[in-house]
Structure 1
Amino acid sequence: MNLELKNKTALVTGGSKGIGKAIAIALAEEGANVIICAREAEALNNSAIDIENIGGSVLAVQADLTKQADVDYLVSAAVNRYNTIDILVNNAGIASGFDDFESLDIEDWQHLFDVNLFGAVRVTKAVIPFMKKTGFGRIINISSESGIQPDGFMPHYNASKAALINFTKSLSKAYAADGILANTVSPAFIMTRMLENLLKDNAEKLNISYSEAIQQFLKENRPHVEVKRPGTVEEVASAVVYLASNKASFINGVNLRVDGGSVASL
């Protein structure tokens, strides 16, 4: 299928590893120019090399999305290199572990929201004028199953992802007439380094093996993952690339769950 992404320009935040890296690679494979950003220079540069090795055009920019100056520099560098930004994937995000509500300080909430929600808000606000100018845009925000079907732990993370879904819906209402479509992709139980670290931490706390921690987490927290396995980053990337394409030109404001059936509601 020709997704008509050749020579489109895509900015992927948090593009140095995990889901973000997989998305950047998938977009590059479709012929898009890719800008990736992250805070860690080494992982960012390694990701850029991997994209170049498959023949992709990539610009890597070190940036902290909690800092407006970094966001301004990121978007400026992208536009200077590729003239505009057609596709924005707000993927950058953090999770701090299986925290319970009482163990979290207000500073924990503020920092996590600053990255997971306000980082996306800052970058989106900087990019939209360029999309309006060309009359074309795709904004894809990476949320989580936890934003729809939250657990009893990580309440700050769950709330930030719910807010991101709501933010996306607002964008879809506000900018569709400008040719800008906004959608959410909500993965569940995807085997990223972040999830791997969380599960290893849980295994240590419970004094069980890593494989036992995976199965226990599935049984206790994701009983509706009907495929009975973690998802892959490539499976998430495929959904994002489709939404970024002209094949999804009548899809706006949706929350596409890449979750193996995990969300129990309709």
Structure 2
Amino acid sequence: MDLQLTGRVAVVTGASKGIGLAVVRTLLAEGARVVAASRKSSAELDALAGANLVHVPVDLMDPEAPGRVVERAVEEFGGLDVLVNNAGGPPPGVSLPRFGFLTPTDDDWREMFEFNLFSAVRAIRAAIPVMLGRGGGAIVNVSSVLARQPAPMNVDYNAAKAGMNTLTKVLSEEYGPQGIRVNTVSPGPVLTAWWTEEGGAADIIAGQAGTDRESVLRNVAPEMMNLTIGRLVDPQEIADMVALLASPRSAGTTGAEFAVDGGFLKAV
């Protein structure tokens, strides 16, 4: 299926690895021109280098950074059609999961909201005038199923993602009549660096469960989360949904949330 993304301009945040890298790779394969934003590049992102890809090294904890990324898209490619707010998860220097409501401090809450919600708010604020000038566009916010099924861990992260879901609904109502579609993709547990890095989620859970990282990734986490497919989700499976929602082929879809979670959510 032709997603009709050839020549369209996209910004992807958190683009150097994991879900963001998969989104960049997928949009490029569909013919889009992509501005990839992350604190630093990666060998995998560098391997995609070409005329249709620009990397902008920014720290999205900086309130001015999202606006600079959108400005770069206009400078390099003349506008903006697609914004993918993918940056999220543990803020720089933070390891998750954290257990219990009393664990995160005020500073932890502020950092979590800065990275997982406010960076997206600022990117959208910068993107909307540019999109309106081109007659519309598509915004895809990467949230989490934990926004809808929270647990007594990562309480600050869960709350930030719940805010993103609400933001998506509000924006879709305000800007849908003007041609800007806004949707959410909510991943479940995805096989990314958040899980696999040393000191990451797999190591933390392994310490709690008295096992090792590989056992957590292969068996413990899927069983603990009751994943229907019996494994963590692959980043490409998230990227495919993001690309579809970014596409004009999804012109009738706005204000919607799509869980790509391996069957984590069980509620109707």
For the pair 1:10 / 2:5, whether they are aligned, the reply is: no
Q: CA deviation at 1:145?
A: 0.9
Q: For 1:74, what is the secondary structure of its paired residue?
A: helix
Q: For 1:16, what is the secondary structure of its paired residue?
A: coil
Query: Which runs of structure 2 are paired with 1:93-112 in the superposition (5 Å)?
Result: 93-95=88-90, 96-99=95-98, 100-112=100-112
Distance change (3 Å), C-alpha of 1:47 and 1:76 = farther
Match of 2:48 in 1: 51
Greater helix proportion: 1
Match of 2:254 in 1: 252
Q: Distance in 1 between matches of 2:124 and 2:25?
A: 21
Match of 2:163 in 1: 163
Match of 1:137 in 2: 137
Match of 2:215 in 1: 212
Equivalent of 1:228, from 227, 230, 234? 230
User: Partner letter of residue 160 of structure 1?
Assistant: A
Cα shift readout 1:29-78 (whole Å, capped 9, x = no counterpart): 00000000111x242xx3442222xx661010011222233223222111
Would you say the 8 A contact 1:51–1:57 is kept in 2?
Answer: no
Q: Distance in 2 between matches of 1:48 and 1:188?
A: 24
TM-score, with length taken from structure 1 = 0.93
Q: For 1:61, what is the secondary structure of its paired residue?
A: strand
Q: Distance in 2 between matches of 1:103 and 1:235?
A: 33
Q: For 1:191, what is the secondary structure of its paired residue?
A: coil
Q: Percent identity?
A: 34
Match of 1:76 in 2: 71
Q: Distance in 2 between matches of 1:89 and 1:253?
A: 15
Would you say the 8 A contact 2:21–2:45 is kept in 1?
Answer: no
Would you say the 8 A contact 1:48–1:59 is kept in 2?
Answer: no
Q: Distance in 2 between matches of 1:69 and 1:260?
A: 36
Distance change (3 Å), C-alpha of 1:56 and 1:236 = farther
Would you say the 8 A contact 1:142–1:184 is kept in 2?
Answer: yes
Q: Distance in 2 between matches of 1:204 and 1:249?
A: 46
Q: For 2:232, what is the secondary structure of its paired residue?
A: coil
Q: Distance in 1 between matches of 2:72 and 2:215?
A: 45
Equivalent of 2:85, from 80, 90, 101? 90
User: Partner letter of residue 6 of structure 2?
Assistant: K
Q: CA deviation at 1:101?
A: 1.6
Cα shift readout 1:132-179 (whole Å, capped 9, x = no counterpart): 111121000000111111121110011111111111111110100111
Distance change (3 Å), C-alpha of 1:255 and 1:232 = same
TM-score, with length taken from structure 2 = 0.93
User: Partner letter of residue 2 of structure 1?
Assistant: D
List alignment gaps of at least 5 residues for structure 1: none
Would you say the 8 A contact 1:28–1:56 is kept in 2?
Answer: no
Match of 1:199 in 2: 202
